[in-house]
Amino acid sequence: MPTLSAVARLAGVSAITVSRVVRLPGLVAPETRRRVEAAMRELGYVRNQVAGALASARTGSVGVLVPTIANSIFADTVQGLSDELEPLGYAVILAQSRYDAAREDHMLRALLSRRPEALIMVGSPATDDGARLLRRAGIPIVETWDLPAAPLDAVAGFDNYAAGGAVARHLLAQGRQSLAFIGGDDPRATRRWHGFDDTAQAAGAKAPRRLILDRNASGSVAAPAELPGVDAVFAANDAHAIGFMCGLRTAGLLRNDTAARQPVAVIGLGDLEMGRLIAPSLSTIRVHGDAIGRTAAKLMLTRSGPRHVDLGFELVLRDSG
């Protein structure tokens, strides 16, 4: 790789001047800065961040751990986070746990080995070892997409239990009598299930059924035949909801007439664009993913203010229920 000294020779300046152009360009005369920048472009010079990190004990990186990138449900959060941090010079290092506790611990170690200046994750550590690792890391830790009562450091998310309860109340108000929940058994989906189940039973309804699917959001689809007699389904995310609706269509249990009551109501979570475009359009829980990411970045950057931020959710009603 081209060195800083090579850039200095080509530009006809000292190595110190090149270093200033890289780090503090405002201190260098405009004509000199343009000459140095032209030399960097010609040589293909890229700043050695490792050397800078060794000198300053700062890496300019932030570790981000999500369950999966196979489903775009977490994309808004990563985008919001990046939009806040990248203009400040931070690089986002993304890893995925794939809903596997052992893999999560492995990826936490891998991210921390890069010496990030903070670590942001969807959810909370799945194991005691993971939690202990983060407590000892000595950097800001921000948990997202949930609201643990005692976060390791800071949290920005929404109440998954309350989201499940809101869906159950809506379906019961519609007169639905046989409810079911489909989705994975990860902690956040499980809290949605408990809110859904507790609310339904507290209202005197028949106990909802729960169908556990592959934890990978795009890895399995529930078929209507697996839930005979059900007239309403809450899916842990929009991907599962859309898959279930495809099965309903095949079984002749889905109506495109938006004025007609659906034989089986379906509500998802995430408000994916695909859910808005399909017919009938998908009712869903809208989560403010971009705001979660931006808030997580701010919690990472400052120690002042609240460390437990509830960004809420919205029940968005469309044609599917």
pLDDT at residue 214 in the model: 74
Q: How many residues does the chain have?
A: 321
pLDDT tens profile 156-171: 999 999 999 999 999 9
Angle between helix axes 4-11 and 30-43 (nearest 10 degrees) is 120
Which domains does the chain carry? 4-47 (no CATH), 59-158+289-311 (3.40.50.2300), 160-287 (3.40.50.2300)
Higher pLDDT, 266 or 221: 266
Residue 48 has pLDDT above 70, yes or no: no
Cα angle for residues 174, 177, 182 (degrees, 5° grid)? 95
CA distances, 74 to each of 11, 87, 94, 204 (Å)? 45, 21, 12, 35
**pTM for the full predicted model:** 0.82
Which two structure tokens, joined as six digits, stand for 89?
């010079």
Where residue 244 falls among pLDDT bands split at 50, 70, 90? Answer: very high
Mean pLDDT on 89-93: 93
Euclidean distance between CA atoms 170 and 86, whole angstroms: 41
Q: Is pLDDT at 228 greater than 90 in this prediction? A: yes
pLDDT band, residue 216 (cuts 50/70/90): low
194 and 164 Cβ atoms separated by less than 8 Å: yes
pLDDT greater than 60 at residue 227 = yes
